[in-house]
Amino acid sequence: SQQGEEDPQALSIQEGENATMNCSYKTSINNLQWYRQNSGRGLVHLILIRSNEREKHSGRLRVTLDTSKKSSSLLITASRAADTASYFCATADSGSARQLTFGSGTQLTVLP
Amino acid sequence: GAVVSQHPSRVICKSGTSVKIECRSLDFQATTMFWYRQFPKQSLMLMATSNEGSKATYEQGVEKDKFLINHASLTLSTLTVTSAHPEDSSFYICSARRPVASRFRHNSPLHFGNGTRLTVT
Partner A contacted by B44 (CB < 8 A)? yes
Evaluate if residue A35 carries a pLDDT over 60. yes
Q: How far is CA A19 from CA A61, A73, A81, B43, B86, in A?
A: 10, 10, 12, 20, 37
Mean pLDDT, range A34-56, rounded to an integer: 95
Provide, rounded to the nearest whole percent, the portion of chain B with pLDDT above 90. Answer: 71
Beta-carbon contacts of residue B52 (< 8 Å; ≥ 6 apart): B30, B31, B32, B71, B72, B73, B74, B77
pLDDT (tens digit per residue) in B10-57: 999 999 999 999 999 998 898 889 999 998 888 899 999 998 888 999
Bridge partners of A36, per DSSP, are A44, A87
Q: Which of A2, A33, A40 sits opposite B43 (nearest CB)?
A: A2
Q: Which residues of A touch B32 (CB under 8 A)?
A: 98
Mutate: best of A53, A87, A98, partner B, most B CBs <10 A:
A98
A90-109 pLDDT, tens digit per residue, is 998 776 556 788 999 999 99
Burial of A51 (0-12, 13-18, 19+ CB in 10 A): middle
Determine whether the interchain pair B112/A43 forms a contact, defined as Cβ–Cβ distance below 8 Å.
yes
Query: Inter-chain contact A48–B107, Cβ cutoff 8 Å?
Result: yes
Q: What is the mean predicted confidence (pLDDT) over A17-24?
A: 96
Is the Cβ pair A40, B115 closer than 8 Å?
yes
Residue A27 is predicted with a pLDDT of: 87
How many degrees, rounded to 5, is the angle at CA A94 between CA B105 and CA A9? 95
Cα gap A55→A63, rounded to integer Å: 6
Confidence (pLDDT) at A56: 97
CB pairs under 8 A between A and B: 63
In chain A, which residue's Cα lies nearest the Cα of B42?
Answer: A104
Mean local confidence (pLDDT), B82-102? 89
Question: What residue of B is the nearest CA neighbor of A30?
Answer: B106
Does B106 touch chain A if contact means CB atoms closer than 8 Å? yes
SS3 B28: coil
Lowest mean pLDDT among A20-24, A89-93, B61-65: A89-93
For the cut 80, the answer to whether the pLDDT of residue B70 exceeds it is: yes
Task: Residue A35: list chain B partners with CB under 8 A.
Answer: 110, 112
Residue B91: list chain A partners with CB under 8 A. Answer: 40
Q: Which of B97, B106, B107, B114 to mutate to test the interface with A (most CBs of A within 10 A)?
A: B106
Chain A residues with CB-CB distance to B92 below 8 A: none
